[in-house]
A and B are shown apart, each in its own frame.
Chain A
Amino acid sequence: MTQTAKTQDISSQHYNFAYLDEQTKRMIRRAILKGIAVPGYQVPFAAREMPMPYGWGTGGVQVTAAVIGKQDCLKMIDQGSDDTTNAVALRTFFVKTTGVETTTKTKEASIIQTRHRIPEEALTENQVLVYQVPIPEPLRFLEPRETETRKMHALEEYGLMHVKLYEDIAKYGHIATAYAYPVMVQDRYVMDPSPTPKFDNPKMDQMEALQLFGAGREKRIYAIPPHTKVVSLDFEDHPFEVNQFEEPCAICGAEGAYLDEVILDDHGKRMFVCSDSDFCEDRRAAGHVGHLGTNPLEAEGND
């Protein structure tokens, strides 16, 4: 018996497959189908209490649990990384409750659940990207009433969002929204891409993979089918721009990837490294080396 089969055998004695009961899965599956039929529209669903606190990705977990099957290979990332707390905790949860194969390789995964990043590597049509969403309503901080935001979506009344972006320009000279940057889906619904950096917004447009979004506390599911038009909101004279980094990744030398700032010592020394850990590892395995070498702590000038 393989390790996976063994885990599946053990887990099946304690939990229903993927933790949720079948009625809950059916309810979530119906919401996912509606979300796919109306890209960008937030479908209400009866989110359950999960064995983890709100804010840990209960929405994404419920979506993944409704979609995942025995044959799937799951990748779980938190801010691009496979080995940060949230990713490790949720991966363990699914290993325990489903026994499916897991991977850190973007290429090998059939389902990728993510907190706040889209992998650097282009996804394919056989993959599903599941986002953990804290506040699904892009208009919520402009209009607190659900009854009103619903009406605004119904009437396609998005002037307020443009006023918000304009106020950014008036105050700062540019659109200062750097994450959860609002997008227009298929020319109809303004949608919150979850708190991904705006760097990732262009990847959502015409993506080959199906994108599913789950917000557990707010009880909403939404979706973007493959090959769907996703446009970041902007103005003709202030077009949408992605973040630029001044230096390449310190350990793999990648340019054009999203970088995290890492503090190296108590004297303000810092470096920028790829936030996508699998992408960075792949590049290093292929022989790319950044200016701080493969281990920045051993780099010259570090004590």
Chain B
Amino acid sequence: MTSQAASSIFAKAPSPGFTDAVHDAQSVFRAAMNALAQPGTIHQLSELALTPPAPLSASATALVLTLCDYDTPLWLDPDLAANETVRSYIRFHTAAPFAKSAAEATFALASNSENLPAIAGFAAGTPEYPDRSTTIILMVDDMVSGSGVTLKGPGIKNQNLFSAHPLQASFWQQMQANSTLYPLGVDVIFAGNNQLAGLPRSTKITGTEA
């Protein structure tokens, strides 16, 4: 094989996943677990040398590599779904099937809040199996703990204030509606700049008009 042919193969190959599949996935999971166990608090990821194709962020990609596999239909937002580099990257590293509709997704990956369809359209589980629901991985630019909407519920001592940007105008209203479905509903993990935050269905949200 000529070196020119070899380099063209590498040009087509998906960029690498975790450097250390076992321990990187473990540390990302711990951050995600703590994020969902303490809604509205921000959890720093350790430095991951991930170079996913744009517009995927390192933190969102880390979550996908940590949680998705052939058992979990993954819904991609329209921008990501139209991006063959993104699709082949995820397909190569996780073997996750792509969900045809939001309602059959175990995970949903949105590159920004504007690309999310109605949150009520995702799987909310059934009364017997509330775990058969979608977990939304939502990419945001930044998150702030200490100002924003008021969160109360399991995992929160008194209350946590939290905001994330950018979010579509109706996002918090939709998540309020989602929490009224409890114990059904979707859970959201915000993936920011090397940071995670969680918003499980059990969290009550107030102060959304601010």
Contacts and interface: CB of A to CB of B under 8 A. Distances in A.
Contacts of A39: 154, 202
A22 B22 contact: yes
B128 A150 contact: yes
Contact of A67 (B33, B68, B131, B201): B33
B113 to A, nearest CB: 20
A44 interface: yes
A43 B67 CA distance: 16
Nearest to B200: A37
A27 B27 CA distance: 16
Max chain B C-beta neighbours (<10 A), residue from A30, A41, A67 = A30
Nearest to A17: B22
B131 A225 contact: no
A253 B96 CA distance: 58
Contact of B202 (A25, A38, A67, A150): A38
A17 B155 contact: no
A185 B25 CA distance: 30
Nearest to A12: B22
A296 B187 CA distance: 54
Contact of B131 (A27, A29, A31, A151): A31
Interface string B96-137: 000000000010000000000000000000111111010100
A189 B131 CA distance: 14
Contact of B71 (A16, A27, A44, A188): A27
Contacts of A225: 36-38, 154-155, 202
Secondary structure class of chain B's binding surface, majority of residues: loop
A187 B157 CA distance: 16
A261 interface: no
A32 B66 CA distance: 13
A155 B184 CA distance: 12
Interface string A137-180: 00000000000001101110000000000000000000000000
Contacts of B23: 17, 69-70
A38 B67 contact: no
A227 B25 contact: no
Contacts of A4: none
Contacts of B173: none
Interface in A189-242: 189, 210, 223-229
Max chain B C-beta neighbours (<10 A), residue from A70, A150, A227 = A227
A299 interface: no
A118 B171 CA distance: 40
Interface residues of A, number: 43
B26 A69 contact: yes
A125 B201 contact: no
A23 interface: yes
Contacts of B26: 17, 25, 68-70
B63 to A, nearest CB: 10
Contacts of A34: 130-131, 133, 187
Contacts of A229: 154
B29 interface: yes
Interface string B2-29: 0000000000000000000111011101
A30 B72 contact: yes
B30 interface: yes
B155 A228 contact: yes
A36 interface: yes
Nearest to A26: B69
Contact of B67 (A30, A125, A150, A155): A30
Nearest to B68: A26
A294 interface: no
4 nearest A-B pairs in the assembled complex, by CB-CB distance: A154-B127, A225-B155, A37-B200, A34-B131
Interface of B: 21-23, 25-27, 29-30, 32-34, 36-38, 66-69, 71-72, 106, 126-131, 133, 135, 153-157, 182-183, 187, 200-202
Given A35-B131, A36-B33, A41-B130, 5 more contacts: A29-B33, A33-B32, A41-B131, A223-B37, A227-B157
